Amino acid sequence: MYRYDQYDQTIVDERVAQYRDQTQRYLAGTISEEEFLPLRLQNGLYVQRLAPMLRIAVPYGLLSSQQIRKLAHISRKYDKGYVHFTTRQNIQLNWPQLEEVPDILAELASVEMHAIQTSGNCIRNTTTDQYAGVAADEIEDPRPWCEIIRQWSTLHPEFAFLPRKFKIAVCGSEEDRAAFLLHDIGIQLVTNDQGESGFHIFVGGGLGRTPVIASSIREFLPREHLLTYLDAILRVYNRYGNRDNKYKARIKILVRAWTAEVFAERVESEWAHLKDGPATLTGDEIERMKSFFTMPDYKTVDAQALDSELQQTAGQNKAFARWLERNTRTQKQAGYRSVSLSLKPAGVAPGDVTDQQLETIADLADRFSFGELRSTHNQNVVLTDVLVCELFELWELARAAGLATPNIGTINDMICCPGGDYCSLANAKSIPVAEAIQRKFDDLDYVYDLGDLELNISGCMNACGHHHIGHIGILGVDKKGEEWYQIQIGGSASKDAALAKVLGPSLSREAVTDSIEKLLDVYVENRLEGETFLAAYKRIGIDKFKERVYAPTA
Amino acid sequence: MPQLLKDGKVIDNPWQIIEANDEADQEALPSGDILVPLSMWLNNQSVLENHSGAVGLWINGDEEIEGIAQSIVTAPVIAINFPKFVDGRGFSVARLLRDRYGFKGELRAVGQIIRDQLFFLKRCGFNAFEFDSEIDLDEGAQSLADFSDAYQVAADQPEPLFKRR
Ligand code: SF4
């Protein structure tokens, strides 16, 4: 993974000092509330319903065991002994004290971490595939490019006060696991006819009130031009994005108003001035970045023998077999697998982990996974590069720590925003809805039979729980001061990205779980052999689902 | 006399800003150094030529400067107005004036700017700062040096960090 040199360290240390000074001036009353707001947001500090919330950056989801141990320590010392993994691969503390945030940032800086630009109207953390570097369908490892973007976007002097937040995702594989078409800029690594690598650039995707799938504005950008081209896009957006109405301020609205073609022309003419300028990437820099993401020291193993041994173990242990099927995945490196540690056992807010579990995760990473791990946008943790013959041992240890619920990719692996329990913007609670669903669908055979199913829950239109792109989405709405829920179906975050459609009038919380069950019944009754929920929906349409859910009860 | 921060020092500010709705009536202009609105700069050069003091201009951050850049870069002072400190358009316009149109004079940030933006403003090419709120300029000047280095190319640094590390 990327390691700081003295330049990176100095910048992060100076940021801590700057924020410490800002906090002191705020507490002394020399910075007003209004002025402090964007300053603290750009350091990840929200003030939520109950307490401040600090969002810590996890650049493109990559973490070391040392960093995880530091987070465990921070959660014990400054918080209530747990942290929350977000849908953008970051980590949140739910109960820090405003006065102590500078100390927390200093602790983070000691392990090459920060909270820079994790909130506010600026360029946020760049996200990517949690299986970067090991995915069998990978075209190119996206992480060197993510790090190049991280450095370019960190404290960019021109783009710290954009019209609205700005999110970039990079996709380096055949299958999209970064939802890159739902970002302000989506970057897809591609190779052109001459075999040169570059980027296909999309802009204007996003969730929130007006969900939009991004439009292509440049099919092939040679790799050395990445930063000058990004500068051009951001400059056009910074100058012409709407600043009067925050609901119209995202780049997607500008792209839509101008059309993608016109937007592309504006970017190209701005870029004409910047192209080949000093920010043009050099081969040396690209190689330097790639050198941080080399492959670990894999052992040469007899993959076939290991695999048959594994199947044998699985044959004798049903619980292990289930976990193996749902929570592990093969890699391009034979003899190794990637393991998902589920942060979604029933009864725990999705994505929450305790300090003890963090310590266990760090130990597991050291023992089985070369000391590295990844956070995922599904709010789980992935350990890559686990030797197949060590999976059983890992499973036993993870299970003892409550990290081996075999539900990855199932209905119970839902994405869920903090909702009304924590978030001051919420219309409705989301965590209790998730829990009710997990409790309802606790029969594992039934859950597995349903197969891959993405269920996403947001507590309001801001869509932090990505409800528009769930196969089933649940959205909290306010109906005369009461919490109601709208159900949507048919969304997808993969390369054939689609936005979910509203099923019908919103429902009370009690009715939500039963309605989900009805949707699943319709699926089970109508599916063809091997057909997923999403595929069945696409074939049979929304009406059958609708009729069942809204059928008058006898 | 009011003061401003220029090139890292606190100095007197003799320049008066002429509001946009004032007519370009020579009689109405105050004596001394003035910063006039863009429209007056473009349309009343003859009046301004006869002005007793020095004349510069001010623009808003949302100005389409591409069309007029050539006629303003000759000014000794260009001020960019920030109607709200969270309105970041002025940062881009400053960079265009410095990087693309080669403006060499004083580039001044005026309006609702805050001390904690000084480092970014400086990087975008501003070298003078006139706050509309009461602030201790000597203390505020410290924020110009919040960081000792930065990753990006900007008006104050022609080479990105990756070519210097
Ligand atoms: S979706 Fe709404 S309720 Fe949920 S975290 Fe985002 S803003 Fe809060």
**CATH superfamily, with its number, for domain A143-292:** Sulfite Reductase Hemoprotein, domain 1 (3.30.413.10)
Q: Do B91 and A278 touch (CB under 8 A)?
A: no
Euclidean distance between CA atoms A104 and A76, whole angstroms: 11
Task: Please give, rounded to a whole number of angstroms, the shortest distance from the CA of B17 to a CA of chain A.
Answer: 24
| Number of A–B residue contacts, CB under 8 Å | 100
Please give the pLDDT value at position B22: 54
Residue nearest to atom 6 of ligand 1 (CA): A464
Nearest to B92 among A17, A239, A243 (CB): A239
Please give the pLDDT value at position A208: 84
Token pair in block for residue A267 = 């970017």
A465 C-alpha to ligand 1 centroid (Å): 7
Please give the pLDDT value at position B23: 57
Instruction: Tell me the one-letter amino acid at A238.
Output: N
Rounded to two decimals, the pTM is 0.94
Euclidean distance between CA atoms A503 and A447, whole angstroms: 22
Q: Determine the topology of domain A303-400 in CATH.
A: Sulfite Reductase Hemoprotein; domain 2 (3.90.480)
Token pair in block for residue B53 = 């003091």
Instruction: Tell me the one-letter amino acid at A97.
Output: Q
Euclidean distance between CA atoms B163 and B79, whole angstroms: 32
Euclidean distance between CA atoms A85 and A380, whole angstroms: 7
Q: Do B88 and A18 touch (CB under 8 A)?
A: no
Euclidean distance between CA atoms B97 and B89, whole angstroms: 13
B162, A285 Cβ separation under 8 angstroms:
yes
Give the angle A321-A327-A330 at the CA atoms, nearest 5°.
90
Q: Sheet containing A336-341: which strands, arranged edge to edge?
A: A62-64, A372-375, A381-387, A336-341, A328-330
Q: Is it true that A6-109 and A143-292 share their CATH fold?
A: no
Residues of B in contact with A154 (CB under 8 A): 151
Please give the pLDDT value at position A88: 87
Q: Assess A9–B contact: CB distance below 8 Å, yes or no.
A: no
DSSP A453-468: --EEEESSTT-TT-GG
Domain architecture of chain B: domains with CATH: 3-164 (3.20.20.70)
Residue A242: closest C-alpha in chain B: B87
Q: Do B162 and A22 touch (CB under 8 A)?
A: no
Tokens 């990844």, residue located = A374
Euclidean distance between CA atoms B127 and A167, whole angstroms: 31
Q: Which residues of A384-422 are buried (b: 16+ CB within 10 A; e: fewer)?
A: bbbbbbbbbebbebbeebbbbbbbbbbbbbbbbbbbbbb
DSSP B4-69: EEETTEEEE---EEPPTTS---TTTSPSS-EEEEHHHHHH-HHHHHT-SS-EEEEEETT--GGGTH
User: Residue B27 above 70 pLDDT?
Assistant: no
pLDDT < 50 stretches in chain A:
none
Token pair in block for residue A11 = 């910048």
Instruction: Kindly indicate the confidence band of residue B24, based on its pLDDT and cuts at 50, 70 and 90.
Output: low
Please give the pLDDT value at position A423: 86
Residue A122: closest C-alpha in chain B: B88
Residue B66: closest C-alpha in chain A: A270
Nearest to A10 among B120, B149, B154 (CB): B149
A405 C-alpha to ligand 1 centroid (Å): 26
Residues of A in contact with B100 (CB under 8 A): 273
Q: Do A158 and B160 touch (CB under 8 A)?
A: no
Q: Provide, rounded to the nearest whole percent, the portion of chain B with pLDDT above 70.
A: 96
Assign A428 to helix, strand or coil: coil
Q: Assess A239–B contact: CB distance below 8 Å, yes or no.
A: yes
Please give the pLDDT value at position A86: 92
Euclidean distance between CA atoms A553 and A551, whole angstroms: 6
Residue ranges lining ligand 1, Cβ < 6 Å: A 417-419, 423, 425-426, 458-460, 462-465
Which of A209, A425, A427, A461 to probe ligand 1 with, by most ligand atoms within 8 A of CB?
A425
Token pair in block for residue A502 = 């509203």
A351, A86 Cβ separation under 8 angstroms:
yes
Please give the pLDDT value at position A50: 65
A513 C-alpha to ligand 1 centroid (Å): 20
Tokens 């991004």, residue located = A214
Residues of B in contact with A152 (CB under 8 A): 151-152
Q: Assess A273–B contact: CB distance below 8 Å, yes or no.
A: yes
Which residue, A143, A39, A278, is CA-closest to B151? A278
Stretch B10-36: mean pLDDT: 84
Length of chain B equals 165
Q: Do B152 and A7 touch (CB under 8 A)?
A: no
Token pair in block for residue A118 = 């994790």
DSSP A271-287: HHHHTTSTTSPPHHHHH
Task: Please give, rounded to a whole number of angstroms, the shortest distance from the CA of A195 to a CA of chain B.
Answer: 26
- Which atom of ligand 1 is the closest one to the Cα of A476? 3
Residue B112: closest C-alpha in chain A: A35
Task: Please give, rounded to a whole number of angstroms, the shortest distance from the CA of A427 to a CA of chain B.
Answer: 28
Q: Give kind and range of the element (H or E) at residue B78.
A: strand B77-82
The CATH class that applies to domain A6-109 reads alpha beta
Q: Which residues of A427-439 are buried (b: 16+ CB within 10 A; e: fewer)?
A: bbbbbbbbbbbbe
Q: What is the pLDDT of residues B64-119, one digit of tens each?
A: 999 999 999 999 999 999 999 999 999 999 999 999 999 999 999 999 999 999 99
Euclidean distance between CA atoms A283 and A144, whole angstroms: 13
Which residue, A373, A362, A306, A378, is CA-closest to A339? A373
- Top residue of B87, B147, B164 to mutate, by most chain A CBs within 10 Å, is B147
User: Residue B28 above 90 pLDDT?
Assistant: no
Q: Give kind and range of the element (H or E) at residue A257.
A: helix A251-258
Stretch B38-62: mean pLDDT: 93
Q: Which residues contact A198 (CB under 8 A, 6 or more apart)?
A: A189, A190, A191, A192, A220, A221, A222, A223
Sequence spans of domains, chain A = 6-109, 143-292, 303-400, 415-550
Instruction: Tell me the one-letter amino acid at B146.
Output: D
Pick the CATH number of A415-550 from 3.30.413.10, 3.50.50.60, 1.10.760.10, 3.90.25.10: 3.30.413.10
Residue A26: closest C-alpha in chain B: B116
Token pair in block for residue A243 = 């600043």
Which of A41, A464, A474 to probe ligand 1 with, by most ligand atoms within 8 A of CB?
A464
Nearest to B87 among A154, A243, A279 (CB): A243
A428 C-alpha to ligand 1 centroid (Å): 9
Q: Assess A29–B contact: CB distance below 8 Å, yes or no.
A: no
Residue A314's φ and ψ, nearest 5 degrees, are -65, -35
Euclidean distance between CA atoms A178 and A424, whole angstroms: 27
